[in-house]
Amino acid sequence: MRSSESSPRVRPPQGSPLSKIRLSNAVYPILIGLAVVAYMFYRDFDPAVFRDLRVTGWTVFWLIVAVLFIMGRDVGYMIRIRVLSGGHLSWRQAFRVIMLWEFTSAITPSAVGGTSVAVIYVHKEGISVGRSSAIVMLTSFLDEIYFIVMFPLLMAIVGFDNLFDIVAGGGVVAKGLIMFALVGYFLKLAYVLLLSYGLFYNPQGLKWLLMRIFRLRWLRRWYRAAYHVGEDIILSSYEIRRYGFRFWLKSGLATFLSWSSRYLVANALVMAFFSVSDQFLLFARQLVMWIMMLVMPTPGGSGFAEYVFTNYCSDLIEVPVALQVGAATLIAVLWRLVTYYPYLAAGVIIFPRWLKRNFSKAKRA
């Protein structure tokens, strides 16, 4: 008979990357986001924004479209991870891995993300360590390829001036953020080039290079982590060389679906309550904004994302200029509520159950 007392909380093994994941960490991005939003509402919000708001059939239509884009984001990820696993992951397993991965990304800085523990998430679903490493490496690789290709393409289409020379909140904002975008982009480009060299050409050589770099005194504390990354690259390289054109096409299209759907959520939310002067430019600016978030130390870019969206995209909302920042603040809050906080909630529900299933004493016995 099961004891009436509550079972002790299950903890992952000491030294595991999972040991750094705490449900309490979900509180920090919420507090940061709320603090920034409260500041923006206090500084810029004008109640007159609500004066002309009307809930019409178009409002409902665009809210439904926003929900479809949210679903498209996760469905794209699920399709991709099933393709990368060769169909070994069921839809339910794919959903669980994606939710855990997104939760980890939401409570860690954008530059870290959830990839450090994603191998464990995939491996615990019955995939070998080598295959799990390959899946995570390829997922990261495909994500970065999307940014590397789309950033210059969108810049060529919409123009540099439209992408960066804007005025919001009474002063030039985007000019001061160009450096964030360029630093983030070149970090991604360097990562892709380095990873491509290791995955497709010389995995042993890349591991050797990592070991040499992380023997430096100020990097030595991360030497063990770099060693494991080198091992993952070697294991992944053996897996990747077996893949053909159809594999890359399907996984590439799934990546395009997930990331494009992620950005189009904001477009749909703006259309639900206001109008957008240039839908494509709003999409392009969100991609640039995501690259900027790479260099932000806050969990999931919390606070920074709300602030930048409000100031970087406000001029595209078709309301009187005096109300643009206030309208953008409202949309920024709705946007983060539907694209960020649900993953915190999902992780708080799924993560403890996943730990119990995989790391309980009964499981280890």
Alpha-carbon gap, residue 188 to 115, rounded angstroms = 15
Arithmetic mean of pLDDT, 64-87: 94
Overall pTM > 0.85: no
Q: Band the pLDDT of 123: cuts 50, 70, 90.
A: confident
Spatial separation of the C-alpha atoms in residues 343 and 258, rounded to whole Å: 15
Mean pLDDT of 262-278: 91
Of residues 248 and 19, more confidently modeled: 248
Question: Mean pLDDT in the chain?
Answer: 80
pLDDT for residue 159 is more than 70: yes
Instruction: Provide the pLDDT for residue 109.
Output: 65
Residue 252 has pLDDT above 90, yes or no: yes
Measure Cα distances from 108 to 37, 262, 301 in Å: 20, 19, 9
Q: Residue 50: pLDDT band by 50, 70, 90 thresholds?
A: confident
Q: Which two tokens stand for residue 130?
A: 């080598």
Q: Looking at residue 199, what is its pLDDT?
A: 82
Q: What are phi and psi of 360, to 5 degrees?
A: -70, 160
Q: What pLDDT was estimated at residue 174? A: 53
User: Percent of the chain having pLDDT more than 90?
Assistant: 22
More confident call, 217 vs 315: 315
Numbers of helices and strands, H then E, in the chain: 15, 2
pLDDT at 163: 79
- Spacing of C-alpha 43 from chain mean position: 28
Cα separation of 365 and 349, whole Å?
A: 25
Q: Which of 194-198, 210-214, 229-233 has the highest mean pLDDT?
A: 194-198
Mention every residue, 6+ apart, whose C-beta is less than 8 A from residue 352: 9, 10, 23
pLDDT of residue 16: 60
Whether the predicted pLDDT of 6 surpasses 50: no
* pLDDT (0 to 100) of residue 363: 52
Residue reference for tokens 């409202």: 330
How many whole angstroms separate alpha carbon 209 and alpha carbon 188?
Answer: 18
Number of C-beta neighbours around residue 122 at 10 A: 29
Amino acid at 122: V
Domain residue ranges of the chain, discontinuous segments joined by + = 17-359
Top-confidence residue, 33 or 277: 277
Q: How many residues does the chain have?
A: 365
Q: Is a pLDDT exceeding 60 seen at residue 307? A: yes
Share of the chain above pLDDT 70, in %: 82
**b/e for 185-202, b at 16 or more Cβ within 10 A?**
beebeeebeebeebbeee
Residue range 176-184: average pLDDT?
73
Least confident among 92-96, 154-158, 311-315: 311-315
Q: Which of 15-29, 291-305, 347-361 has the highest mean pLDDT?
A: 347-361
